[in-house]
């Protein structure tokens, strides 16, 4: 009797998967969309974030950055001095990580793993100009932009019920 019940249960489950794959795919899309919405909430509420690069010895280096607002694809932009270490490190190894967190208010965090590119485009820099740069003489020749395209993100957002897996401690994630 027990074997019959298990066989019947597995058969029904397999049948439901076969006849209704669209619902499973729709559920996957909802999870992805929910993750992106939850990530944007954390990113938009975070004034400063951490940018991790890899130096010439292979050692990770982290610094506090003030990002421009992320776009719909979670592409992140920064401005920095063209002679900074992070520019050299990105040119040598474009793999980076950006970390947004609000631990004071216990909202969660977003970890973006991606590829960085140094953009030396003065017209774009002028379009993205921040008001406080007016006090920096010759800022157009000092700054370059860094563009980070995500390859994957991990998101913890308590409001959305996105928590670490209790067995693996892995955060919910998606690949781009």
Q: What is the CA radius of gyration of the chain?
A: 21
Alpha-carbon distance of 80 to 145, in angstroms, equals 6
Q: For 88-117, write each residue's pLDDT tens digit.
A: 999 999 999 999 997 778 899 999 999 999
**pLDDT at position 8:** 36
Identify the three-state secondary structure at position 166: coil
Q: Is the separation of the CB atoms in 174 and 35 below 8 Å?
A: yes
Structural domains for the chain: 2-175 (2.30.110.10)
**pLDDT at position 112:** 98
Query: What's the Cα-to-Cα distance from 165 to each of 40, 132, 173, rounded to whole Å?
Result: 21, 42, 11
* Sequential pLDDT tens for the chain (176 residues): 444 433 333 333 333 333 333 222 222 333 888 999 999 999 999 999 999 999 999 999 999 999 999 888 999 999 999 999 999 999 999 999 999 997 778 899 999 999 999 999 999 999 999 999 999 999 999 999 999 999 999 999 999 989 999 999 999 999 99
Q: What angle do CA 142, 143, 149 make, to 5 degrees?
A: 160
Whether this model's pTM surpasses 0.85 = no
Any idea what DSSP says for residue 136? S
Alpha-carbon distance of 60 to 124, in angstroms, equals 29
Alpha-carbon distance of 104 to 26, in angstroms, equals 35
């Amino acid at each position: 009797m027990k074997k019959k019940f298990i066989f019947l249960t597995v058969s029904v489950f397999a049948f439901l998967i076969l006849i209704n794959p669209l619902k499973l795919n729709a559920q996957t899309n909802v999870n992805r969309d929910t993750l992106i919405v939850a990530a944007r909430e954390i990113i938009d509420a975070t004034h400063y974030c951490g940018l991790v690069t890899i130096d010439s010895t292979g050692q990770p280096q982290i610094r506090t950055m003030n990002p421009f607002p992320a776009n719909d694809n979670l592409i992140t932009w920064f401005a920095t001095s063209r002679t900074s270490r992070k520019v050299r490190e990105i040119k040598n190894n474009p793999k980076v990580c950006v970390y947004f967190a609000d631990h004071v208010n216990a909202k969660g965090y977003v970890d973006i793993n991606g590829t960085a590119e140094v953009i030396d485009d003065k017209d774009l820099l002028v379009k993205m100009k921040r008001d406080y740069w007016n006090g920096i003489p010759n800022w157009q020749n000092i700054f370059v932009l860094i563009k980070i395209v995500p390859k994957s993100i991990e998101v913890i957002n308590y409001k959305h019920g996105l928590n670490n897996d209790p067995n693996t401690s892995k955060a919910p994630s998606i690949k781009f």
